[in-house]
Amino acid sequence: MEILNYTEDHLNFRERVRAFFEKEVTPHVEEWEKTGITPKAIWKRMGREGFLCTSVPKEYGGMGADFLYSVIVTEELVQTGHTGLAAPLHSDVVVPYITAFGSEELKRKYLPLCVSGDMISAIAMTEPNAGSDLASIQTTAVEDGNEVVVNGQKTFISNGINCDLLILAARDPSASDAYSGMDLFVVEAGTKGFEKSKKLSKMGWHSQDTAELTFTDCRIPKENRLGIKGGGFLMLMEKLQQERLMVCIIAVAGAERMLRDTVRFCGEKIDFGKPISKLHNNRFKIAETAAEVRLGRVFLDKLVADHMEGKNIVIDVSMGKFWTTEMAMRVADQCLELQGNYGYCEDNPMARAWRDMRVLAIFAGTNEIMKGIAVKFMGL
């Protein structure tokens, strides 16, 4: 019995997405990895096809589709072997803040442009001295008449160079505590005082334009605040469940791809006069790896199903995030070893996959934080 009920519409959508990525993304992955950024044109082509922000309501230009459409786009993007095009971050992490908490004016102004790909979004939480501990952010937002003056620095911001629109977490320095003083603001690229100060060079995700951002007396309209004043921390806590679930989807889909490619490699590589898939130790390793990947798929599908039903699965997603990402790293290690010297070469997708999987244990709250959340809710 399948856990997720994909309709004929879902399956047809998957075929469209797969064909699009095979034509428009896969042939360009190596080029984008070398240039260190994905062109904005691919975002607009995705938007024209209806592959961005599928959950945005129809009145704002979206499909008003269920979460399975987001799952499909993310899984098929992972199958290209390309992690730099952070469309899932845009569609399913950043834009939902505007959909859920933005004023009607903000929704009508920005959502259609996010759906079309004319605006690329990012979210700026992490700072040099504040990552998983969001209460420690130092970026300040001080009201001055009808404006808010922002000062501070953000780092490790995905889509940081390409972004046209930013969800910014900042605190009111006069608030009594860090939690009640936090707010989220919508900031447009090009706003005076907002600088994309540095593109970061990373071990993996080479074509992802991760950046440092600086705010120096950056003035934004007060009406660009999302939700009520002081509600930023609670908004982040509400949306982090889906963000961490997106990481689980990437981890499991990535593990499935690595396993599939390695099984094919082992069936074609000849050693001692026969395919290396016939060697007993390799067969056992493949079986063990396949079992882990299958367990990850079942775990993930149950998380997706519960999330779509509106259940509070903070503990389950925290467990899922650390288990699926650590599983993906184990699979990457095993698949690289099975492919031997070939897997270690840069012209083999396995080398890039091995590098790219590593950061998933850090994204959206480190795995150590996830384990801490899990045991805390267990009463320990």
DSSP annotation of 118 reads S
Question: Which residue carries 């904005």 as its tokens?
Answer: 40
Neighbours of 281 (CB within 10 A): 9
Check 243, 292, 337, 368 and give the catalytic one: 243
Q: In angstroms, rounded to a whole number, what is the distance separating the alpha carbons of residues 223 and 218?
A: 15
> Dihedrals φ, ψ of 56, to 5°?
-60, 135
Interatomic CA distance for residues 80 and 88, integer angstroms: 14
Active site (annotated) includes residue 143:
no
* Amino acid letter, 64: G
Residue 175: phi, psi to the nearest 5?
A: -70, 155
CA dihedral 196, 201, 205, 208 (to 10 degrees): 20
Q: Are 51 and 74 in contact (CB under 8 A)?
A: no
CB 365 within 8 A of CB 241: no
Q: Are 53 and 65 in contact (CB under 8 A)?
A: no
- The residues near 125 (Cβ < 8 Å, ≥ 6 apart) are 134, 137, 154, 169, 236
Structure tokens at 124: 């700026």
Residue at token pair 């399913």: 92
Cα 178 from chain centroid (whole Å):
26
CA 161-43-61 angle, to 5 degrees, is 115
The gap from C-alpha 126 to its chain's centroid, in whole angstroms, comes to 14
Asked whether the CA dihedral 301, 305, 306, 308 is positive or negative, the reply is: positive
CA distance 335 to 338: 5
Q: H or E element: which one contains 156?
A: strand 147-157
Nearest to 128 by CA among 118, 120, 138: 138
Nearest to 200, CA basis, from 247, 151, 161: 161
Active-site residues: which are they?
A: 243
